[in-house]
Structure 1
């Protein structure tokens, strides 16, 4: 008996606008170049942050 192909995975929403995004493509996981640029701008502006311990002000001056 031949193995059945797995069912196709559902499309995930774009993390910026929520529209369905293609599973494969140049903008994955975003739906468009615009949403990709918006996300990059958010990273560069510091809107996203990785939580961590606050730095000691003296250590901050050394770097």
Structure 2
């Protein structure tokens, strides 16, 4: 039985198999769109409880 996933860019159904060079994307275009979004820092991972700035503490 084949496994299908949704393309992260356009949500088209994509068969998850080795012959799909762009998996999990449906095409090279969708892969490039996603790469461009990362390069433009459109994605971020929220940070919780960031450590204090060590440079700020060194000045005190």
For normalisation by structure 1, the TM-score amounts to 0.67
Unaligned runs of 5+ in 2: none
Unaligned runs of 5+ in 1: 1-7
Greater RCO, CA 8 A, separation 6+: 2
Deviation (angstroms), 1:22: 2.2
Instruction: Please tell me the root mean square deviation across aligned C-alpha atoms, in Å.
Output: 2.3
Question: 2: CA distance between counterparts of 1:22 and 1:50?
Answer: 28
Matched length: 52
Matched, 1:12 2:5: yes
